[in-house]
């Protein structure tokens, strides 16, 4: 039933963590079936009732936060304050916000029908839970990237099967334990394993899929989901850009951009990885960046660092490779560029004089590295920003808010900001989405519920007479069709022609409906 036990390492020092029992693909149908059985009753609850459960789950997560902080610090290597602020403090507000989003997204909507064209009829569009939602989550925010889609899936009336990243399995497993303690047993199921298990889940009997991960894997997931006609939302990579104009508030801008480039050691799909700076202030901007970056503590240097380590050695190697290539291609190392401690820590790194052709600019670094590209004018940066095959967040930093908005709207991104970056990911009312290589998925907001519910139209006809457009297809039917078409074009005078035709057609259809039944010869 299982592939056996697997072990991961603590990123802060490289020491092995306790082994975890992985699932085998043969376990998947059972986990899905348990979630499906629990979902049959769950979908019958009202939004208010589901909201009470989700609120209780959020409360339990916060009440037990010391437990999960221990686990996340082990699996991510971050300090407790960073882990608490990054993933836990927003839990309750996110849950409450999700309840409001769900009310709107699942509300039945009446359709206004023309009484002339559709007499006696009414229609309503309903939101029907899809059933069991598969969630394949990443490792960079191992708790938040799990509970956010779980909250939405539950509020929509679904069951869930969660496969957390193989790099951070304990965090996902802990979350499912809390779900079992608060929710109906089995409603949120757990699968622990690697990419093979994730691929098997995509092929399993789920009703929709939420995937967050790399562009390469996301393409495979999307292709397979498309073959299966499986509703699928994919959020993939990013190499977010910021444009800094000469008139910006330099002190605030430097700290803001450095925060959103180095937060979580840059392991964020919306991390600022490239910044386009007007030449007029470039020297001062880079100098201040380096000064502030040099004040940040890193994993391996202190017990409670500003920057945690890279989560795994492969990611650290990837970061080092991109930095090395950039330096070879002519970038200037301003600060950083070195490992720290015994684990996978890496110094906050600023690279100046980068170009759009460098891999560190056009590929996802996913590490504490910021590439600076100098431009003559901020408007020159728009084409360069849009030339890269990702588009999640994009920001413009300036005191001229009118110009900033105009420039931000020209960026090919899902979320355009002025004088800030990235923070909307914790707001459930705002769609988290991108373009191009970032994927077509929409997380959060009512716009993301296409994967959680399907639309069903219910039509009720209270008419007591047969329709005038039904058989027989006599000459009056043709004349009626022309009269209706002319009326739709604004020919009001056709009403005088239409009304008599309606009466004649009603009589003709009624006559047909009263046709005597043929003799029954079934027994002959």
Q: Is 111 helix (H, G, I), strand (E, B) or coil?
A: strand
Q: Could you tell me which residues are beta bridge partners of residue 136?
A: 163, 211
Cα–Cα distance for residue pair 138/87, rounded to 1 Å: 14
The question of whether 64 is a catalytic residue gets the answer no
Q: Are strands 339-340 and 345-346 parallel, antiparallel or unpaired?
A: antiparallel
- Give the residue among 417, 424, 420 at the shortest CA–CA distance from 443: 424
The question of whether 73 is a catalytic residue gets the answer no
Cα–Cα distance for residue pair 179/47, rounded to 1 Å: 18
Question: What element of type H or E holds 372?
Answer: strand 369-375
Q: How many CB atoms lie within 10 A of CB 445?
A: 21
392: its two tokens: 């999640």
Q: DSSP assignment of 325-336, as one string?
A: HHHHTT-EEEE-
Peptide bond into 472 cis (omega under 30): yes
Q: DSSP assignment of 18-78, as one string?
A: PPEEEPPGGGHHHHHHHHHHHHHHHTTS-HHHHHHHHHHHHHHHHHTHHHHHHHHHHHH--
Q: Is 295 helix (H, G, I), strand (E, B) or coil?
A: coil
- Of these residues, 235, 278, 363, 364, which one is catalytic? 235
Distance, CA of 498 to chain centre: 52
Runs of H (alpha helix) within 239-278 = 250-262
Asked if residue 359 lies in contact with residue 320, where contact means CB atoms within 8 angstroms, the answer is no
- Owner of token pair 């390492």: 9
CB-hemisphere CA count at 13 Å for 166? 12
Cα–Cα distance for residue pair 132/39, rounded to 1 Å: 8
- Of these residues, 179, 269, 354, 362, which one is catalytic? 269
Sign of CA pseudo-dihedral 215, 432, 365, 390: positive
Cα–Cα distance for residue pair 404/383, rounded to 1 Å: 15
DSSP single-letter state for residue 307: B
- Owner of token pair 């990243």: 165
Cα–Cα distance for residue pair 141/154, rounded to 1 Å: 20
Which residues does the annotation mark as catalytic? 235, 269
């Amino acid at each position: 039933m299982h592939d056996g036990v697997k072990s991961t390492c603590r990123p802060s020092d490289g020491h092995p963590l306790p082994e975890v029992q992985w699932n085998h693909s043969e376990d998947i149908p059972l986990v899905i079936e348990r979630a499906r059985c629990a979902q049959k009753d769950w979908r019958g609850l009202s939004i208010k009732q589901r909201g009470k459960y989700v609120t209780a789950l959020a409360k339990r997560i916060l009440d037990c936060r010391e437990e999960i902080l221990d686990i996340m610090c082990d699996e991510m290597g971050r300090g407790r304050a960073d882990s608490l602020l990054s993933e836990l403090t927003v839990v309750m507000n996110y849950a409450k916000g999700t309840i409001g989003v769900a009310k709107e997204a699942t509300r039945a909507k009446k359709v206004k029908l023309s009484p002339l064209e559709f007499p006696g009829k009414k229609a309503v569009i309903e939101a029907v839970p899809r059933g069991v939602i598969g969630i394949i989550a990443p490792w960079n925010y191992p708790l938040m990237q799990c509970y956010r889609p779980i909250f939405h899936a539950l509020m929509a009336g679904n069951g869930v099967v969660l496969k957390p990243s193989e790099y951070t399995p304990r965090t996902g497993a802990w979350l499912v334990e809390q779900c079992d303690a608060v929710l109906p047993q089995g409603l949120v199921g757990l699968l622990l394993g690697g990419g093979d298990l994730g691929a098997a889940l995509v092929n399993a009997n789920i009703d929709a899929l939420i995937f967050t991960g790399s562009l390469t894997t996301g393409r495979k997931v999307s292709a397979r989901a498309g073959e299966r006609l499986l509703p699928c939302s994919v959020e993939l990579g990013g190499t977010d850009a910021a444009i800094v104009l000469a008139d910006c508030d330099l002190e605030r801008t430097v700290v803001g951009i450095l925060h959103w480039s180095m937060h979580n050691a840059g392991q964020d799909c919306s991390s600022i990885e490239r910044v386009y700076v007007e030449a007029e202030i470039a020297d001062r901007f880079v100098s201040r960046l380096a000064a502030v970056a040099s004040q940040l503590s890193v994993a391996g240097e202190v017990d409670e660092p500003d920057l945690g380590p890279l989560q795994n050695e492969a990611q650290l190697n990837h970061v080092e490779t991109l930095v090395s290539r950039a330096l070879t291609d002519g970038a200037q190392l301003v600060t950083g560029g070195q490992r720290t401690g015994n684990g996978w820590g890496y110094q906050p790194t600023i690279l100046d004089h980068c170009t759009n052709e460098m891999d560190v600019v056009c590929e996802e670094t996913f590490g504490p590295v910021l590439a600076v590209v100098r431009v003559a004018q901020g408007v020159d940066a728009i084409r360069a920003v849009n030339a890269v095959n990702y588009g999640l967040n994009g920001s413009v930093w300036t005191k001229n808010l009118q110009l900033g908005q105009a420039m931000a709207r020209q960026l090919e991104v899902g979320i355009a900001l002025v004088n800030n970056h990235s923070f909307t990911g914790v707001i459930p009312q705002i769609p988290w989405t991108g373009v191009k290589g970032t994927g077509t998925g929409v997380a959060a907001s009512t716009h993301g519920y296409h994967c959680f519910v399907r639309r069903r139209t219910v039509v009720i006809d209270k008419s007591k007479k047969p329709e005038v457009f039904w058989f027989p297809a006599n000459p009056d039917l043709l004349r009626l069709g022309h009269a209706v078409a002319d009326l739709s074009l604004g020919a009001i005078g056709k009403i005088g022609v239409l009304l008599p035709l309606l009466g004649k057609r009603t009589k003709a259809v009624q006559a047909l409906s009263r046709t005597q039944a043929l003799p029954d010869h079934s027994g002959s």
